[in-house]
Structure 1
């Protein structure tokens, strides 16, 4: 097992356990951390021998002490509006890299605004939204542009066959009340109200779906490093009924890995100089799939395959095509799909 220690903050949560398992599968040494001693102690039977550190984000001094000997911090403890900035700041001060899995636009923007210069001075990287929401669309868009610095237009579409939300998803949804942003005229701008709706022809297995503009953190990460004139981001409406129904259960394991049966398709269409290209992917379980995404980031930060220091977007910190290819090789059921768009999505 590697001597490099990776703190997983929020280790006792649903996504945290997938991240721990992924780190162990790569021969890395997780340190289990979080705010709740009882929940962390309950992990002892599953992860015997792994170090546990109990600390809240409200005590900056204790947080810095808890980061002693840590190379990379992975924050999976939402709401990230509450945890991201204090934990990332402590990581930078301790000389550790920081990654999180936030879908929250304001949390990402906070890190970019406040920690870029300190991270550069410390020689570490701060990479928020290295996850299914945010990072995946950022990586796909960057790869689709194939070295070009930007696009006239980018359209992102996320399709889920269902949504079994975790407790953390519900809490974060209640906490994150900020107006969502898109890119309009090359700058971040508020999403129209009511949000535009339409249809999107997804690659299989979803096909044509009703969609609504519902941007996540990918808008802020893409704006961070790519010159995009217009960016819209869509989610199919069917799983939103699951999310809004308080009786919808959390995800349940359908195999030994703990993954649910949920299926997803994510597609980006980039337009530049009158030409367009689409790049899409399909896979299973948005929470479980976040683990290999963020751990690909961890591995690259440890072995030096990243693009310098500072507060960075996923596709800015790491070579996007390489990350996506690695995910396709290592993640069961995940595949990349590429084609020239035939049926243009419509939104009104």
Structure 2
């Protein structure tokens, strides 16, 4: 490694990406470059890192197996933060959080797994607080986006009677990592009922909702993701329900559904998404809708905006913290404007 690269990677702008050669990791590296950061691409395979084209874009590549603490510590050297894109996160989050704490750097990931989020809060809150490090699990499409939308719509409300999150995808072509996570993520799901975090004991509830174009009327099934443990940490609500449209669920359950295919120079697929949040308090109702393209690609600007804010804010929160308890939710969503549209309404 030359002296110039040493100087670059030891600046506050060096951000490590674990799982960089994966599908989401590639989007994150590209977004960090676009924002002027110096990514450090970390993976376990020399061949996959070489095939990624990172070196041609001036990105330093470092090889480390997550089960090798010393190699991972070396890979994180000089970074100010680490973004974990290597799922399943029930297998990787604990290891990478511990490495981040040893290095004294901030940690973020894009998990959709409830059990991973809960374990991060339960196992690392005290250590992260003591180290004055910010740890944010689920800072991506699943988890973080819904947490931000709920909080922005709540605004000055101190509590809600009901919160419904409706996620609609016009298709879901899963990555290999998504399929592997689905096989590993067998924990019983959680929701909020009676104001408490509760296991979902009933059979999945089906509902019909009408979302903005191009979706229209869709059938949804109750399926909570990592937004539930995040929201439960800082939002008071009697009931919380998350729904996914059945068209997306059919795609991901079909083993013959191919992985996502790029349709533009950025690598994004043609997939469209909408996330609609409906909140009630008595007779009052508030609604917020976010729409955009490609749930894997959109996670990159979301998590990179979070990194930017953490590294530039001397008053940032420390410890393990939900996205919307860390940032001003409405302001954060406005910053994503070029990549996603957001509309709020009230009745």
- Class of the TM-score when normalised by the shorter of the 2 chains: over 0.9
Q: 2:184 aligns with which of 162, 175, 187?
A: 175
Q: State how far apart, in whole Å, the 2-side matches of 1:235 and 1:340 are.
A: 23
- Displacement after TM superposition at 1:189 (Å): 0.9
**1:69-126 deviation digits (Å, cap 9, x = unpaired):** 1101000010000001110121022110000000000000001001111111111110
1:151–1:227 contact (8 Å) kept in structure 2: yes
Query: 2:73: which partner in 1?
Result: 64
2:55–2:61 contact (8 Å) kept in structure 1: no
Q: State how far apart, in whole Å, the 1-side matches of 2:315 and 2:266 are.
A: 29
Q: Secondary structure at the match of 1:70?
A: coil
Cα distance change on mapping 1:5 and 1:45 into 2, 3 Å:
closer
1:305–1:318 contact (8 Å) kept in structure 2: no
Q: 2:286 aligns with which of 253, 277, 282?
A: 277
The answer to whether structure 1 residue 82 and structure 2 residue 91 are counterparts is: yes
The answer to whether structure 1 residue 335 and structure 2 residue 341 are counterparts is: yes
Q: Secondary structure at the match of 2:336?
A: helix
Q: Structure 1: 5+ residue runs without aligned partners?
A: 342-348
Q: Secondary structure at the match of 1:129?
A: coil
Count how many residue pairs are aligned between Structure 1 and Structure 2.
338
Query: 2:5: which partner in 1?
Result: none
1:306–1:318 contact (8 Å) kept in structure 2: no
The answer to whether structure 1 residue 185 and structure 2 residue 194 are counterparts is: yes
Q: State how far apart, in whole Å, the 1-side matches of 2:148 and 2:325 are.
A: 9
Q: 1:300 aligns with which of 299, 306, 309?
A: 309
TM-score by length of 2: 0.94
Cα distance change on mapping 1:252 and 1:305 into 2, 3 Å:
farther
Cα distance change on mapping 1:175 and 1:131 into 2, 3 Å:
same
Q: Secondary structure at the match of 2:233?
A: helix
Q: State how far apart, in whole Å, the 2-side matches of 1:129 and 1:87 are.
A: 14
Q: State how far apart, in whole Å, the 2-side matches of 1:183 and 1:248 are.
A: 32
Query: 2:233: which partner in 1?
Result: 224
Cα distance change on mapping 1:192 and 1:208 into 2, 3 Å:
farther
The alignment's C-alpha RMSD in Å is 1.6
TM-score by length of 1: 0.93
Q: Secondary structure at the match of 1:268?
A: strand
